[in-house]
């Protein structure tokens, strides 16, 4: 094996970063994948639902109203990457119970609630998100939340 071969975490996070490139959100491109037994179960990126005009066409209402990040999600046309990954798995009959989420951004509290109820067992992410309730609920549910740094090396939340 070569030293250039990525770890599993780096491999999955690289895929997640590529998925994020499909985003149609004007404010933040987010990608998410659900993985179990080293296999990708589902992918998702943030943007308007299928068959609905993208924000690039309509403009961003939250941006126009100067809504800070992490607030007033109900004003957004888009659906979050984590939500899309869950929905895609459901549409195709794929169980995600016991899966791990890799996401370019730490989930918001809305997504955290969905991930908890979907049975997600662990979450890796690249960037933080301004939603402390998310961290609190995931901790209470016993779901480890780890930030990936550098070349896919996880850093426990306790170490931050």
CATH code assigned at 28: 3.40.140.10
Q: Name the catalytic one among 63, 82, 136, 146.
A: 82
Residue 1 domain-assigned (yes or no): no
Quote the domain boundaries for residue 143.
8-147
* pLDDT mean over 83-100: 97
Residue 69 domain-assigned (yes or no): yes
User: CA nearest 82: which of 37, 38, 131?
Assistant: 131
Query: How many structural domains comprise the chain?
Result: 1
Residue 3 domain-assigned (yes or no): no
* pLDDT mean over 14-35: 93
- Quote the pLDDT of residue 158: 39
Residue 27 domain-assigned (yes or no): yes
Residues that constitute the known binding site for Zn(2+): 80, 108, 111
Residue 65 domain-assigned (yes or no): yes
H or E element at residue 139: helix 132-140
- Quote the pLDDT of residue 28: 85
Residues that constitute the known binding site: 80, 108, 111
Residue 157 domain-assigned (yes or no): no
- Quote the pLDDT of residue 151: 52
pLDDT tens digit sequence for 27-79: 889 999 999 999 999 999 999 888 888 888 888 887 888 888 777 777 777 89
Residue 114 domain-assigned (yes or no): yes
Residue 19 domain-assigned (yes or no): yes
Decide if pLDDT at 2 tops 60.
Answer: yes
Residue 82 is a catalytic residue: yes
Decide if pLDDT at 143 tops 60.
Answer: yes
């Amino acid at each position: 094996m070569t030293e250039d071969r990525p770890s599993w975490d780096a491999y999955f996070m690289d895929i997640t970063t590529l998925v994020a490139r499909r985003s149609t959100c004007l404010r933040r491109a987010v990608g998410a994948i659900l993985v179990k037994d080293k296999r990708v179960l589902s992918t998702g990126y943030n943007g308007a639902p299928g068959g609905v005009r993208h924000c690039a066409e309509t403009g961003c209402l939250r941006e126009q109203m100067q809504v800070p990040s992490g607030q007033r999600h109900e004003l957004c046309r888009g659906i979050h990457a984590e939500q899309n990954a869950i929905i895609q798995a459901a549409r195709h009959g794929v169980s995600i119970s016991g899966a791990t989420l890799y996401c370019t951004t730490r989930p918001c509290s809305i997504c955290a609630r969905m991930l908890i109820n979907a049975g997600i067992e662990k979450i890796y992410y690249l960037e933080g998100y301004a939603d402390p309730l998310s961290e609190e609920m995931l901790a209470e549910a016993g779901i480890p939340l780890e930030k990936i740094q550098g070349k896919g090396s996880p850093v426990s939340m306790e170490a931050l």
